[in-house]
Amino acid sequence: MSRQLHLNAFLMSTGHHEASWRLPESNPVANTDVAHYQNLARIAERGKFDSVFFADSPVLIGDVGRRPAGSLEPTVLLTAIAAATSRIGLIATASTTYNDPFNLARRFASVDHVSGGRAGWNVVTTAGPDAAKNFNLADQPAHAERYDRAAEFLEVAYALWDSWEDDATVADKEAGVWGDSARVQPIDHVGRHFQVRGPLNLPRSPQGHPLIVQAGSSEDGKGLAARYAEAVFTAQQTLADAQAFYADLKARTAALGRDPETIKILPGIVPVIGGTVEEALRLEQELDELIKPEYARQQLAKTLRVRPEDLPLDRQLPADLPDEDEIEGAKSRYTLIVTLARREKLTVRELIGRLGGGRGHRTFSGTPEQVADAIVEWFEAGAADGFNVMPAVLPSGLEAFADHVVPILRQRGLFRTDYTGTTLREHYGLARPSPERLTTAVGAN
Amino acid sequence: MSRQLHLNAFLMSTGHHEASWRLPESNPVANTDVAHYQNLARIAERGKFDSVFFADSPVLIGDVGRRPAGSLEPTVLLTAIAAATSRIGLIATASTTYNDPFNLARRFASVDHVSGGRAGWNVVTTAGPDAAKNFNLADQPAHAERYDRAAEFLEVAYALWDSWEDDATVADKEAGVWGDSARVQPIDHVGRHFQVRGPLNLPRSPQGHPLIVQAGSSEDGKGLAARYAEAVFTAQQTLADAQAFYADLKARTAALGRDPETIKILPGIVPVIGGTVEEALRLEQELDELIKPEYARQQLAKTLRVRPEDLPLDRQLPADLPDEDEIEGAKSRYTLIVTLARREKLTVRELIGRLGGGRGHRTFSGTPEQVADAIVEWFEAGAADGFNVMPAVLPSGLEAFADHVVPILRQRGLFRTDYTGTTLREHYGLARPSPERLTTAVGAN
């Protein structure tokens, strides 16, 4: 069988277009409606997606007036979805800056148990000062410090997941011996950020380790991904940029002694799908007209660290923006936005339209054939192992993708007709880690 | 209608008897089997129990060799159960010592959302030095310090749950206004233990606040319960002790200006049910014979802070045990065990049998009629508002209770024939808190 595409469905309330909630079809309180998300996951499972995914931050993001705000805690949400599905992988975001490794390692292992081996963790360090203020801090730790903590956090999590050997549970009723104590050991971790004795209070989970996902594309982020990530979500606007990112990350991974096949790179794509080109463009236009530019300008100003009045709607971005080095927040997002605006000489109003649709991810309007072509082009040109599909409108955009784009990818022999495994690792073609192997590989840090 | 009993099902792997996993009927790896727990919850819901409940501690407890160890993270487990049930309340234990209020408040609010208002939180401070070592500490904070943190933790949680007014979501598609920013406010909490800006990143949940449960019976524990708890689980061995505890806690609650009806007191009962008295005793004896006394003696020695060799199996407890004041761990559990042994002049072997069955909770073997009588006696004698039912063997002990004891309680007019509400608060006859009322009541601290 030829090399196969991987598809993740990135789900977010009524869709990735910021005005999607205003469409007549949308449920504006979908953000807290578990049945909405269970329905979306069933649609993605019908399309045989590898996984569904939720972004997250432990702080209220954005302007409550402007668009749906607030969301269910993602490990709770994954568990609710696990109960409504049977095969699709379940990936949630959680912060290494604002969690304890013992609690979080246990939570993801628990999701892995209740889902029969379908859990994945998108490891983030949580940019921005606002989240810090919910956790006893006046400001976020520095970018490099957050990534240093993230690496140690992952080492602790691996050690906890491996603190029970797979066969530690003996369950010998006759002899009255439940477990083999020798196969459940403390981890005795003592590091810069954490002291954790262990063992975990949970037997080893079906996947051994939940799948590790990473989604930051800064230098620190790529370093973390090369060392630990098994799937990477990334925002890339052009084929050339995506190819460069892909080659760079695969090379970094190989340089650390890992097989580059064990890291799957999935750029984001925001498809706006219509039966005809005109229908797709009409939907895109309808959505863009629902954006309130004043709200969006305030958000853009915050990201760019300028005042809203420094961003007249019908002019290009000011010339004197800060360098990425000065940004302690979401570095790669910042650079992507500035680069996009400069390369395409967009006015602020045009930039807002582009960002409102996909927040920096590649937007693509067209027929199912055209969307499939766009996907295959990048896949075959060394820019992607698959895609992070971010429908502009939910559920209709996901239904259109699952029912009309996926069959085309299948006809071209690039996507599964059914699941061949039961775990998320199996969907992504990744091995189940054994405790031994990992102790060696990870201990090298 | 006469005053009604409340029943909570305290669920733990194969049952509360420590040797229950060794019975032929038991699934010895039930502790990580979500289908097992979903089945138990369905049985409890069939019996119209108010709620199911899970104990928890963020550390591996007990000897892996001896009995099932490790458990699914309880908010994950509740969510999985929510998907398999529709009415029964869902209570999980979580520690205020080893969690952040922002994350935990959000998690319980999320469970409340996904379950349609069925979430409850058993607030614990987590006794013992072992858990501390999983969280960067060499030892646990002092007992009083843990309770001081717990109180402030709850204040922060209330404020976060109330940081969105119930009608904050406007969802005006036409005007493009999703939420009313004025009704979503920071909490700006600055206290001894926490600085939390808020607001929560989640709209207010169906119950407003998840039900607050408390289960520690030390002086500090009773103080916390009187101020905050809406249901209290307690271990009481005799009617007189239970009456004294009940009167004391109701009086403390009233002294703080709360209606004593708003705190429901549920002593634990470990029923061992048989069709006849002989059958019940036979099951009890079968279970006790499966206990391995050497394991149990080691556990008892740890609780009593002595060496195992200081506890000869066929002698009573040594005279010179520490006072409760010297115990920084689970104070009330310690006193209960020592008092039980001294009052009934039990040998260590006999004490181990009693504790193996119920870990200090009241065990009661008999027919469904006798169990119902025992429950009604305490309920009518001012010792209980209901019971925390802890079946010795699961699922069979819960089935016996739901299908044979509950109908008798119902015949006596003391228990519901069906749910009359949809939320956990409604089952317990407790009002849904409004943000305003709570700001006043809680702000008095």
- HEC-encoded secondary structure of chain A: CCCCCEEEEECCCCCCCCCHHHCCCCCCCHHHCHHHHHHHHHHHHHCCCCEEEECCCCCCCCCCCCCCCCCCCHHHHHHHHHCCCCCCEEEEEEECCCCCHHHHHHHHHHHHHHCCCCEEEEEECCCCHHHHCCCCCCCCCCHHHHHHHHHHHHHHHHHHHCCECCCCEEEECCCCEEECHHHECCCCEECCCCEECCCCCCCCECCECCEEEECCCCHHHHHHHHHHCCEEEECCCCHHHHHHHHHHHHHHHHHCCCCHHHCEEEEEEEEEECCCHHHHHHHHHHHHHHCCHHHHHHHHHHHHCCCHHHCCCCCCCCCCCCCHHHCCCCHHHHHHHHHHHHHCCCCHHHHHHHHHHHCCCEEEEECHHHHHHHHHHHHHCCCCCEEEECCCCCCHHHHHHHHHHHHHHHHCCCCCCCCCCCCHHHHCCCCCCCHHHHHHHHHCC
Kindly give, in sequence order, each residue whose CB lies less than 8 Å from that of residue B175, ignoring residues fewer than 6 positions away: none
Q: Which domains does chain A have, with CATH numbers?
A: 6-271+367-443 (3.20.20.30)
Per residue, what are the HEC states of B252-303?
Answer: HHHHCCCCHHHCEEEEEEEEEECCCHHHHHHHHHHHHHCCCHHHHHHHHHHH
Residues in A closer than 8 angstroms to B93, CB to CB, are none
Closest CA to B170 of A445, A417, A28: A28
Nearest residue of B to residue A206 by CA position?
B32
CA-to-CA distance for A105 and A202, rounded, in angstroms?
10
Residues in A closer than 8 angstroms to B31, CB to CB, are 203
- Best mutation target among A113, A172, A298 (most B Cβ atoms within 10 Å) is A113
The CA distance from B241 to the nearest CA of chain A, in Å, is 34
Query: Would you say the C-alpha torsion B41, B45, B47, B53 has a positive or negative sign?
Result: positive
Would you call B196 and A136 a contact, using CB atoms and an 8 Å cutoff?
A: yes
SS3 B93: strand
Binned at pLDDT 50, 70 and 90, residue B270 comes out as very high
Could you tell me if A67 lies within 8 Å of chain B, comparing CB atoms?
A: yes
Nearest residue of A to residue B114 by CA position?
A34
Asked which of A418-432, B283-297, B348-362, B389-403 is least confident by mean pLDDT, the reply is: B348-362
Residues in B closer than 8 angstroms to A65, CB to CB, are 177-181
Largest distance between two CA atoms of chain B:
80
- Best mutation target among B12, B96, B114, B288 (most A Cβ atoms within 10 Å) is B114
Binned at pLDDT 50, 70 and 90, residue B361 comes out as confident
CA-to-CA distance for B400 and B15, rounded, in angstroms?
13
Would you call B173 and A28 a contact, using CB atoms and an 8 Å cutoff?
A: yes
Asked which of B53-57, B135-139, B366-370, B432-436 is least confident by mean pLDDT, the reply is: B432-436
Of A68, A100, A195, the CB nearest to B178: A68
What the block records as the tokens of A366 is 């067209």
Count Cβ–Cβ pairs < 8 Å, chain A vs chain B.
218
pLDDT at B436 over 60: no
Which pLDDT does position B328 carry in this prediction? 64
- The DSSP output letter for B17 is S
Closest CA to B153 of B201, B214, B73, B97: B97
Residues in B closer than 8 angstroms to A135, CB to CB, are 100, 102, 196
Would you call A176 and B22 a contact, using CB atoms and an 8 Å cutoff?
A: yes
Which pLDDT does position A120 carry in this prediction? 98
The CA distance from A439 to the nearest CA of chain B, in Å, is 20
Would you call A73 and B34 a contact, using CB atoms and an 8 Å cutoff?
A: no
Of B22, B83, B201, the CB nearest to A70: B201
Residue B395 CB neighbours (<10 A): 23
Give pLDDT tens digits along chain A (445 positions): 689 999 999 999 999 998 999 999 999 999 999 999 999 999 999 999 999 999 999 999 878 998 999 999 999 999 999 999 999 999 999 999 999 999 999 999 999 999 999 999 999 999 889 999 999 999 999 999 999 999 999 999 999 999 999 999 999 999 999 999 999 999 999 999 999 999 999 999 999 999 999 997 889 999 999 999 999 999 998 999 999 999 999 999 999 999 999 999 999 999 999 999 999 999 999 998 898 888 888 888 888 889 999 999 999 999 888 777 777 666 777 888 898 899 989 999 888 888 876 677 888 899 999 999 999 999 999 999 999 999 999 999 999 999 999 999 999 999 999 999 999 999 999 999 987 544 434 433 3
Would you call B136 and A290 a contact, using CB atoms and an 8 Å cutoff?
A: no
Mean pLDDT of B244-249: 97
Asked which of A279-293, B97-111, B323-337 is least confident by mean pLDDT, the reply is: B323-337
Q: Which residues are paired to B273 by β-bridges? A: B366
Residue B46 CB neighbours (<10 A): 15
Q: How far is the first Cα of chain A from the last one, in angstroms, to the nearest whole number? A: 36
Residues in A closer than 8 angstroms to B77, CB to CB, are 110, 114
Strands (DSSP E) contained in B329-426 are 362-366, 386-389
Give the distance from CA A379 to its chain's centroid. Answer: 19
- Percent of the residues in chain B that have a pLDDT greater than 70, as a whole number: 96
Closest CA to A36 of A48, A28, A47, A45: A28
- Best mutation target among A76, A180, A291, A294 (most B Cβ atoms within 10 Å) is A76
Could you tell me if B293 lies within 8 Å of chain A, comparing CB atoms?
A: no
Nearest residue of A to residue B163 by CA position?
A60
Q: Which backbone phi and psi does B264 adopt, to 5 degrees?
A: -100, 125
B 29-48 residues inside an 8 A Cβ radius of A: 29, 31-32, 34
Would you call A106 and B180 a contact, using CB atoms and an 8 Å cutoff?
A: no
The CA distance from B197 to the nearest CA of chain A, in Å, is 5
A 134-193 residues inside an 8 A Cβ radius of B: 134-137, 164, 168-169, 171, 173, 176-181, 184
Of A79, A98, A203, the CB nearest to B80: A79
Residues in A closer than 8 angstroms to B59, CB to CB, are 201
Binned at pLDDT 50, 70 and 90, residue B1 comes out as low
The CA distance from A194 to the nearest CA of chain B, in Å, is 6
Of B76, B134, B199, the CB nearest to A102: B134
Would you call B80 and A82 a contact, using CB atoms and an 8 Å cutoff?
A: yes
Would you call B58 and A133 a contact, using CB atoms and an 8 Å cutoff?
A: no
The CA distance from A344 to the nearest CA of chain B, in Å, is 29
Would you call A73 and B106 a contact, using CB atoms and an 8 Å cutoff?
A: yes
- Best mutation target among B27, B34, B38, B79 (most A Cβ atoms within 10 Å) is B79
Mean pLDDT of B20-38: 97
Could you tell me if A362 lies within 8 Å of chain B, comparing CB atoms?
A: no
Would you call A64 and B103 a contact, using CB atoms and an 8 Å cutoff?
A: no
Does the complex come out with an ipTM higher than 0.90?
Answer: yes
SS3 content of chain B, % helix, strand, coil (to 5): 45, 15, 40
The CA distance from A337 to the nearest CA of chain B, in Å, is 25
Could you tell me if B302 lies within 8 Å of chain A, comparing CB atoms?
A: no
Kindly report, residue by residue over A129-186, the tens digit of the pLDDT: 999 999 999 999 999 999 999 999 999 999 999 999 999 999 999 999 999 999 999 9
- Best mutation target among A38, A114, A189 (most B Cβ atoms within 10 Å) is A114
Mean pLDDT of B287-292: 88
Q: In terms of DSSP bridges, do strands A231-234 and B169-172 run parallel, antiparallel, or are they unpaired?
A: unpaired
Would you call A80 and B114 a contact, using CB atoms and an 8 Å cutoff?
A: yes
Would you call A179 and B76 a contact, using CB atoms and an 8 Å cutoff?
A: no
Which pLDDT does position B443 carry in this prediction? 37
Would you call B34 and A107 a contact, using CB atoms and an 8 Å cutoff?
A: no
